[in-house]
Amino acid sequence: MTAHLRTALTDLVGIEHPIVQTGMGWVAGPSLVAATAAAGGLGILASATMTFAELEAAIAKTKAHTSKPFGVNLRADATDAAERIDLLIRTKVAVASFALAPKQDLIAKLKDAGVVVIPSVGAAKHAVKVASWGADAVIVQGGEGGGHTGPVATTLLLPSVLDAVDIPVVAAGGFFDGRGLAAALAYGAAGVAMGTRFLLTQESTVPDAVKQEYLSRQLHDTVVSLKVDGMPHRVLNTELVQRLEHSGRWRGLAAALANAARFQKMTGMKWSTLVRDGLAMRKTAGLSWSQAVMAANTPMLLRAGLVEGNTRAGVLAAGQVTGIIEDLPTCQELIDRIVTDAVARIQAVGALADRANSAAGNSE
């Protein structure tokens, strides 16, 4: 029987274990999310790469495979964000997570409907802001994490956020085993969130050949690139990434426009919608025009690698933990062993304190 760790996160969401599977674009679909939920963790669907109809179908499919709580990751700056929030409320999704902070009124609407709101943040000041707006918890990702990331390591970013807010804080960036969970809890976090570790599970729909590419890499084999979409993006260091790194600005913009056309054709979105989303992203994230255009690269470059398995034409978002992961367990096996190991680590540390107290008592 798997041990349990009760934290503010498990109480808040109603899950068994303080482990979150992040909403990775093209990866976090119904199969992975349902498996994570069934194993007692919090699975989060990635909706940024889904049309509204696809998200609606994904929620229904996930609910068909599990009755346990799960979440949906949303883009707060999406033009149809309000409609997607209504969908979450209507279908009784347990958690709404956000990559960019949602407006205060959207948080209030979700909370009034009983939906737990957990934005992701990259700095203590952002955690303070969303906490003041009513967010129930935050996920804080250090620079070790994959995808869009910041420059500060988890070991420094996490305590800075914990000191700044009094809502539950979930640690992300560099976590993959029980040692990490025990360490995060020791810092004062309410749990851990993992992306790359869940990408490398049996229920992940990433092609097997791509998973093997990840498993073959070492700790030094990721790079933070600005050439993928104009923002710091941690990815596997591939030939394509190296070409992007050495490409000129205009070539990057041309590629971004071409990828935007491919994304528009694939999703059926109107050009006016894509333009409005780009304008919203530019305003919300403070991007330049060239960065906003380059952001069109992300969905298609990630899709080529993570869905189509074309590592020559696609980008593979990856946390630094890629270099230390060696297997492809089921979500159940992964969560069970992380929690079991974390409990053992916590008990071992407690035994150190007991021995110290005993020794002090004997010396008196």
Residue range 258-282, pLDDT digits in tens? 655 654 454 455 545 555 555 555 4
Give the per-residue pLDDT at 207.
95
Give the per-residue pLDDT at 272.
56
- Give the model's confidence band at 241: pLDDT under 50 very low, under 70 low, under 90 confident, else very high: confident
Task: State the burial class of residue 226 (Cβ atoms within 10 Å of its Cβ: 0-12, 13-18, 19+).
Answer: middle
Give the per-residue pLDDT at 329.
98
Answer with the residue of higher pLDDT: 85 or 229: 85
Give the per-residue pLDDT at 297.
58
Give the per-residue pLDDT at 293.
53
Angle at 168 between CA 163 and CA 169, to 5 degrees: 65
Element (H, E) at 234: strand 233-236
Element (H, E) at 350: helix 331-363
pLDDT at 38 over 90: yes
Answer with the residue of higher pLDDT: 21 or 305: 21
- Give the model's confidence band at 364: pLDDT under 50 very low, under 70 low, under 90 confident, else very high: low
For the segment 64-121, what is each residue's pLDDT rounded down to a tens digit? 999 999 999 999 888 899 999 999 999 999 999 998 888 899 999 999 999 999 999 9
Domain ranges, ordered by start, for the chain: 8-205+333-351, 210-320
pLDDT at 283 over 60: no
Top mean pLDDT of 104-108, 185-189, 269-273, 287-291 is at 185-189
- Give the model's confidence band at 243: pLDDT under 50 very low, under 70 low, under 90 confident, else very high: confident
83 contacts 52 by C-beta, under 8 angstroms: yes
For residue 294, which amino acid is it?
M
> Which residue, 95, 85, 73, 74, is CA-closest to 22?
73
pLDDT at 361 over 70: no
pLDDT at 296 over 70: no
Top mean pLDDT of 74-83, 169-178, 286-295 is at 169-178
Q: What is the mean pLDDT of the chain?
A: 88
Q: Supply 29's token pair.
A: 């679909």
Answer with the residue of higher pLDDT: 253 or 33: 33
Give the per-residue pLDDT at 244.
75
What CA–CA distance (Å, rounded) separates 197 from 206? Answer: 12
Lowest mean pLDDT: which of 148-157, 220-229, 297-306, 346-355?
297-306
Answer with the residue of higher pLDDT: 203 or 265: 203
Give the CATH fold of the 8-205+333-351 domain: TIM Barrel (3.20.20)
Q: Is the pTM of this model over 0.95?
A: no
Give the per-residue pLDDT at 14.
98
344 contacts 245 by C-beta, under 8 angstroms: no
Give the per-residue pLDDT at 131.
97
Lowest mean pLDDT: which of 35-44, 268-277, 340-349, 352-361?
268-277
Give the per-residue pLDDT at 271.
47
